[in-house]
Amino acid sequence: MNRFHRQMLLAAFRPEGQQRLARARVAVVGLGALGTLQAELLVRAGVRHLTLVDRDVVEETNLQRQHLYTEADLGWPKAERAARHLQTIWSEAQLKVHVADLIPENIHELLRDVDLILDGTDNWATRWLINDFSVQQQIPWIYGAAAGQEGRVMAIQPGTSACLGCRFPPPSGQHLDACDRVGVWNTLTTLVGTLQVQLALEHLLGHPVPGDLFRITVHPFQVHRYQVQRNPDCPVCAHHRFLALEGTYTERTLVLCGRDTVQIRPTPPRQLDLASLAEELKKLGTVEQRGQVLRLITPEGELTLFPDGRALVRCPDCTPERAKSLYTRWVGG
């Protein structure tokens, strides 16, 4: 029996529905609590072509809510390990894996061939970047966020619905809490990610998708739905001013809240020979190579290094200045 038999019984799929899913090309940006659930549900539903983008590695605190990962994945790039687990779910899935930070310099290359983008990120700079790209390229995307006991979901269809900038223009979203400051229910991230996938499947199957903002709260459980009108003076969808694509909101040095970790992205990117660098770094401490990343552990702190020169520096009371100093000493200027 066809593995998709149970959903093909549904009238919403119609005879050609499964073929539409098999042809669709979907990107999941961010493979944390939202993105891993999105990717798993999409693959299980029969979306064959997925582009996976994530800049981070699996940490122990992720396991409370992030699907797909196990203790065996700790320290590995999320995109790599998510792809590995997805391939075991459906061996015919065609996965493009990018261990990368989505930034203005690479977004066109990484997302140019997709039909739909799902937001699994945890920061507003990347969301505004996706929104600019979506409006510019006329590619729909589905925003999602979850922190504490509140989550939000909104489907954006350029030219039809409001865009993210109509509801959350920069820098308005920056005051909203992040899960590493206020915690998060693992049931909340599952609810938000599931609603994002439901809207994605409706879109891919050719059904109408509401452009409303959905607000989900847990403890106590409530769902609210708000109409979002297009802003006739929106800089993005009305005036086509794409500041995020120009790099206005992109930070080269970023403090990752709640982790004593600073992300450093050299400009321009540096292509590193991690194998050769590993031999040099062994003089400083313990070195581990896991997939596309190299990890150095020293008494002063830890370095997670990516092939393009991007790094995560963890140290006590880690400031951008201290992280840059350690990076320069360990890797070079």
Q: Say which CATH number the domain at 31 has.
A: 3.40.50.720
Is residue 236 included in any domain, yes or no?
no
Least confident of 90-104, 173-187, 255-269, 309-323: 173-187
pLDDT tens-digit series, residues 15-39? 899 999 999 999 999 999 999 999 9
What is the percentage of the chain residues whose pLDDT exceeds 70? Answer: 95
Q: What is the signed CA dihedral for 123, 69, 313, 179, rounded to 10 degrees?
A: 40
Is residue 245 included in any domain, yes or no?
no
Whether 188 and 302 share a structural domain: no
Whether 207 and 98 share a structural domain: yes
Is residue 240 included in any domain, yes or no?
no
Whether 311 and 210 share a structural domain: no
Whether 270 and 132 share a structural domain: no
Band of pLDDT at residue 253, cut at 50, 70 and 90 = confident
Confirm whether 179 is a catalytic residue: yes
Question: Is the CB of residue 139 less than 8 Å from the CB of residue 51?
Answer: no
Residue at which a domain ends, from 180, 210, 226: 226
Is residue 231 included in any domain, yes or no?
no
Residue at which a domain ends, from 190, 207, 226: 226
Whether 74 and 209 share a structural domain: yes
Q: What is the pTM of this model?
A: 0.93
Active-site position among 163, 166, 179, 315: 179
pLDDT at res. 66: 93
Average pLDDT over residues 221-240: 96
**Angle at Cα 141 formed by Cα 166 and Cα 31, nearest 5°?**
120
Is residue 237 included in any domain, yes or no?
no
Band of pLDDT at residue 258, cut at 50, 70 and 90 = low
Average pLDDT over residues 163-191: 78
Whether 175 and 108 share a structural domain: yes
Is residue 239 included in any domain, yes or no?
no
Band of pLDDT at residue 172, cut at 50, 70 and 90 = low
Chain-centroid distance, C-alpha 226: 25
Q: What is the DSSP letter of 77?
A: B
Whether 214 and 267 share a structural domain: no
Q: Which domain holds residue 21?
A: 5-226
Is residue 11 included in any domain, yes or no?
yes
Could you give the strand order of the β-sheet that contains 49-54, starting from the edge strand earlier in sequence? 94-99, 49-54, 25-29, 116-119, 141-147, 150-156, 213-217, 222-226
pLDDT at res. 252: 75
Residue at which a domain ends, from 207, 226, 245: 226
Whether 127 and 189 share a structural domain: yes
Residue 257 confidence (pLDDT) above 80:
no
pLDDT at res. 180: 58
Whether 215 and 300 share a structural domain: no
Whether 25 and 159 share a structural domain: yes
User: Residue 155: is it exposed, middle or buried by C-beta count within 10 angstroms (0-12/13-18/19+)?
Assistant: buried
Average pLDDT over residues 156-177: 82
CATH of the domain at 259: 3.30.310
**Angle at Cα 248 formed by Cα 271 and Cα 166, nearest 5°?**
130
Is residue 235 included in any domain, yes or no?
no
Residue 76 confidence (pLDDT) above 80:
yes
Whether 138 and 206 share a structural domain: yes
Phi and psi angles of residue 118, each rounded to the nearest 5 degrees, phi first: -110, 135
Whether 222 and 258 share a structural domain: no
| Number of structural domains found in the chain | 2
DSSP 227-256: -----TT-TTTTT---TTTTTTT--SEEEE
